[in-house]
Structure 1
């Protein structure tokens, strides 16, 4: 059994998926398997996945799940149902990992037995997101931790499939309620390609323009999380 199972939800991101897999192929730590969930893609992703089944490197590492489109949270949950490894990483198709990402994250969790997950800084296109060490107050104040964090499989509570936004923030807050805490690596360990799952990210100054439709949706989604977790 591998140490890490990597769950990759895919919705019409065939080309991005290949870049993601290439970064996994180059990992210094190779003790992992991959579960790809094709969430109802209509762009040829299924053809790419069929070829992967016959690829010499991937055919014994990859398990593929085909399902109707239900959204990223449901796709991740479907993938997790097949997880057998003690550690799991949810890695979106638009993410590429630094070559030592898995190794560094795993070492931290092996060293810190009381931590349930480990996260890091990351790049979104040309912008670098420099996060902060884990503190409960910081986590409750605003979303900051990306979904691409290595966690102990036994501590994963599942994603809320009813949420359209902030599924990641909701996940970390739910884990906090369960007394499951994170550990921070102050390095950029992965890059997110613009236009994918983070396509709704806006520069901070735009959030002051509350009349914008995108800002209204953001504030409403944030209000949903605040009310769900009693953050007021």
Structure 2
């Protein structure tokens, strides 16, 4: 029986400096039945010429520019890659990161042996700007089994690690293009509602830390943290309008309250700072401010 085809989708934007290393790690995979789709989100550097050279020498590599009728941003690029892909399994890599050579070889047998599992993930290791491994490993052991409640509270997955079944997207939908920050977290929550995850204990991929990481634009200011989390919750509730039970909604509210208690405790020390955040949310949206206050009090009582 032939090995199942894996579609690897890489959104890119002005990362000619790093894209070659990312693609080299794909071409070095010991699991060889794959296609790789690089979706350019509007690069103006040398990405196109680099990709032409690579695609000319490797027929499994394909390069596309995101059509104008697809939303801009990483999720729009990922969705276009899904549309163009043919594999029964789907994986993602970022254009400045890279995989270890046995990543797919370790993940695909798990999916083949456990048809109930929606995705297989594993550990990541940080590397410096030059791609040198640092030894700092982020473990994924909490992403094993049914992790919907855990993912309501915190995102513990890296986008470059999981391999998913194509049917997962048929079940939960594609990526939400309204999100540019925490865009993967919004998606993982939907997947976890229906599917158990499988977390390997191996390091499967490396995440590069450099001065142009997208994560550096994320502010940790209390109001912005609240606004991001609330937007994620509202999107989830909208998606689950005809899916969620009463018990599901109670759970979502319970975890949201827990999150706000943590936010107040960790980022608003002292009574004055807590009141300041509460008043800021009230000023922004009266109804949302009252809701925040109610959930916070419910969480601490």
Q: What TM-score bracket applies, with the shorter chain setting the length?
A: 0.7 to 0.9
CA distance in 2, matches of 1:187, 1:46: 34
Deviation at 1:215, TM superposition (A): 5.5
Pair 1:155 & 2:174 matched: no
The answer to whether the Cα contact below 8 Å between 1:2 and 1:33 also exists between their aligned partners in 2 is: no
Identify the match of residue 145 of structure 1 among 150, 157, 173: 157
Give 1:208's aligned residue. none
What is the rounded CA distance, in whole Å, between the counterparts of 2:32 and 2:221 in structure 1? Answer: 40
Q: Describe how 1:1-232 pairs up with structure 2 within 5 A.
A: 3-55=5-57, 58=58, 60-67=59-66, 70-125=72-127, 126=134, 127-131=136-140, 132=142, 133-134=144-145, 135-148=147-160, 149-156=162-169, 157-177=173-193, 179-195=194-210, 199-200=215-216, 216-230=223-237, 231-232=252-253
Q: CA deviation at 1:197?
A: 5.2
Higher relative contact order (CA 8 A, sep 6+): 1
Aligned residue for 2:85, secondary structure, equals coil
Q: How many corresponding residue pairs?
A: 219
Q: Tell me which structure has the larger Cα radius of gyration.
A: 2
CA gap 1:65/1:154 in 2 versus in 1, 3 angstroms: same
Contact in 2 for aligned 1:124/1:192 (Cα 8 Å): yes
Q: Which has the higher mean CA deviation after the structures are superposed, 86-95 or 193-202?
A: 193-202
Cα distance change on mapping 1:213 and 1:180 into 2, 3 Å? closer
Deviation at 1:219, TM superposition (A): 3.5
Alpha-carbon RMSD: 2.2
CA displacement at 1:13 relative to structure 2:
0.7
More strand by share: 1
5+ residue gaps, structure 2, are 128-133, 238-251, 254-301
Deviations 1:89-147 (A, max 9, x none): 01111221111101111111111110111111102333321122242321221111111
